């Protein structure tokens, strides 16, 4: 039976991810089109994208170069086996990624999502030590309030309680650093806060507790996004780097949202001048258009595996769609779009304007903190007593009605617009959010 895509259909079959399903299905919010900075809703309205989809459409929507490259690739080579066979596009993309990554990154392992990139990096860390004859190093250290996707490794090192607590005992041998959110000291900071570098010293405590010889890796988001935009205190990431290096522990930066220009540099590693041993990426890699992720690793990590007879598989890990040709074509076109349009530089140039616009919300009803970096912003609201998350969710719904897309986590509104946003659109986004906050309970 032919279905008119834009007519209401039965919403029951689709169990939606990270969604209040019952609420949504009573009042569906449907996007049916997108172009550049805007979505089109099923009732024909334009909605300004304040979140780059889910932090992924960094070049804006339906960009011709990316669309055409996907169309062309689908007609030319739709799929090639990922194991024991190759195709040129995947190799080309790996080089393009390394072109914009820190010099120390030397190899790319493909996945299909941020969650898979995280699982891959955690497995690589443990296997790396084992390959070097240091097989007791299996312990993984994450951080409170960290988000590393939804698979078992990721939720184990992650620190968002709701994402962990109903899923059983999780991966054993995991410990957590304290989060870096110090509102009493750092409220209303612009960019990275002054206070909190000392929180990295807690790693020494964890190392003393378990013994460095049992610890494989530390994983952190340089900027924790999903948990409400928690910025690294000045000097914090360098301290983590120094301590991990001193103890032979790998450092993994989860750059799934900070990668591809979001902070005003290609990667947060570049922005903060701290280079980890591995970086996990996804989202902006293909502008969100086709699922793809990538783990970047140093030569030291990679080379530890390159032993044994040459006909033997060195790493028993990979996905059917690792380096999928269509995703790889999208990745190449995306990186070209970023470069041709200077979008990372654009994000850096717009950052001060974005910062001032966001901080103009100080003093608006219920706003208790504002945080920003690059084209990332968060507006934290005072929760309604006894009803956490309700105020922010109401703001999200009202914002959608008024034509802007924002995202909420707890009572924090997070924004991360496409890097093509104009100053006028920043004004529109922040101005509409102000109206919303003045109107919600």
Q: Which residues sit at the interface with ligand PLP, rule CB under 6 A? A: 113-115, 118, 147-149, 221, 225-226, 254, 256-257, 282
Nearer to ligand PLP, 96 or 148 (CB): 148
Name the minimum Å distance from CB 164 to ligand PLP.
14
Nearer to ligand PLP, 204 or 270 (CB): 270
Q: Is 260 left (phi over 0), alpha (psi -120 to 50) or beta?
A: left
Using Cβ positions, the residue closest to ligand PLP within the complex turns out to be 114
The structure tokens listed for 222 are 């340089």
Given a contact cutoff of 8 angstroms between Cβ atoms, the answer to whether 135 and 170 are in contact is no
Listed in sequence order, the DSSP H helices in 277-407 are 299-303, 325-340, 343-359, 390-401
129/407 with CB nearer ligand PLP:
407
Three-state secondary structure call for residue 143 = strand
Q: Which is nearer to ligand PLP, 17 or 81 (CB)?
A: 17
Q: Phi and psi at residue 318, in whole multiples of 5°? A: 160, 170
d(Cα 222, Cα 57) in Å, to the nearest integer?
20
Give the list of residues 6+ apart from residue 204 with CB closer than 8 angstroms, or none: 243
Name the residue nearer to ligand PLP (CB basis): 372 or 416: 416
- What is the spatial distance between Cα 351 and Cα 356, in angstroms, rounded to a whole number? 9
CA end-to-end span of the chain: 45
Q: Least distance to ligand PLP from the beta carbon of 109, Å?
A: 15
Strands 250-254 and 278-281: parallel
**Cβ 375 to ligand PLP shortest distance, Å:** 15
CB 190 within 8 A of CB 372: yes
Smallest gap from Cβ 55 to ligand PLP, in A, equals 6
Alpha-carbon dihedral of residues 421, 349, 186, 157, nearest 10 degrees? 70
Supply 57's token pair.
Answer: 């459409």
Closer CB to ligand PLP, 253 or 338, in the complex = 253
- Maximum C-alpha span of the chain: 68
CB of 221 to ligand PLP, least distance (A): 5
CA distance 405 to 252: 31
* Sequence-ordered alpha helix ranges (H) in 132-262: 152-157, 161-164, 183-186, 202-210, 236-246
The residue (of 142 and 196) whose beta carbon lies closer to ligand PLP is: 142
Smaller CB separation from ligand PLP, 66 or 230: 230
Residue 280 φ then ψ, to 5°: -100, 135
For ligand PLP, the closer of residues 215 and 376 by Cβ is 376
Q: Minimal distance in Å, beta carbon 141 to ligand PLP?
A: 16
Q: How far is the CB of 288 from ligand PLP (least distance, A)?
A: 9
The nearest distance, CB 48 to ligand PLP, in angstroms, is 21
Reported as type and span, the H/E element at residue 222 is none
CB of 354 to ligand PLP, least distance (A): 19
């Amino acid at each position: 039976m032919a279905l008119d895509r834009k007519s209401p259909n039965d919403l029951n079959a689709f169990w939606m991810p990270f969604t209040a399903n019952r609420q949504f299905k009573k009042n569906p919010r449907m996007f049916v089109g997108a172009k550049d900075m805007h979505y089109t809703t099923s009732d024909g309205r334009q909605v300004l994208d304040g979140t780059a989809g889910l932090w992924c459409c960094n070049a804006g929507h339906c960009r011709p170069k990316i669309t055409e490259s996907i169309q062309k690739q689908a007609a030319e080579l739709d799929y090639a086996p990922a194991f024991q066979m190759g195709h040129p596009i995947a190799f080309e993309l790996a080089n393009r990624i390394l072109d914009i990554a820190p010099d120390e990154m030397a190899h790319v392992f493909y996945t299909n999502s941020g969650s898979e990139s995280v699982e891959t990096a955690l497995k690589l860390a443990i296997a790396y030590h084992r390959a070097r004859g240091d097989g007791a190093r299996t312990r993984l250290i994450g951080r409170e309030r960290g988000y590393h996707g939804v698979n078992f490794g990721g939720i184990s090192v992650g620190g968002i309680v709701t994402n962990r607590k109903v899923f059983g005992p999780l991966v054993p041998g995991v410990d957590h650093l304290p989060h870096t959110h110090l509102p009493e000291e750092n409220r209303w900071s612009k960019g990275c806060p002054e206070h909190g570098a000392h929180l990295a010293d807690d790693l020494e405590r964890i190392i003393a507790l378990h013994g460095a010889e049992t610890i494989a890796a530390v994983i952190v988001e340089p900027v924790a996004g999903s948990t409400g935009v928690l910025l690294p205190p000045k000097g914090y990431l360098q301290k983590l780097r120094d301590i991990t290096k001193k103890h032979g522990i790998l450092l993994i930066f989860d750059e799934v949202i900070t990668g591809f220009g979001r902070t005003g540099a290609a990667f947060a590693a570049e922005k903060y001048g701290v280079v980890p041993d591995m970086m996990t990426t996804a989202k902006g890699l293909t502008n969100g258009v086709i699922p793809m992720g990538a783990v970047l690793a140093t030569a030291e990590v990679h080379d530890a595996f390159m032993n044994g007879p040459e006909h033997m598989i060195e790493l028993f890990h990979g996905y059917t769609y690792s380096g999928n040709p269509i995703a790889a074509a999208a990745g190449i076109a995306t990186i070209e779009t970023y470069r041709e349009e200077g979008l990372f530089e654009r994000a850096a140039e717009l950052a001060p304007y974005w910062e001032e616009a966001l901080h103009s919300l100080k003093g608006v009803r219920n706003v208790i903190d504002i945080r920003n970096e690059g084209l990332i912003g968060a507006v934290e609201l005072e929760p309604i007593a006894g009803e956490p998350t309700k105020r922010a969710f109401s703001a999200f719904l009202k914002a959608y009605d008024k034509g802007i897309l924002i995202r909420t986590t707890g009572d924090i509104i997070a924004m991360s617009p496409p890097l093509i946003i104009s100053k006028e659109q920043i004004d529109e986004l922040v101005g509409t959010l102000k109206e919303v906050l003045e109107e919600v309970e």
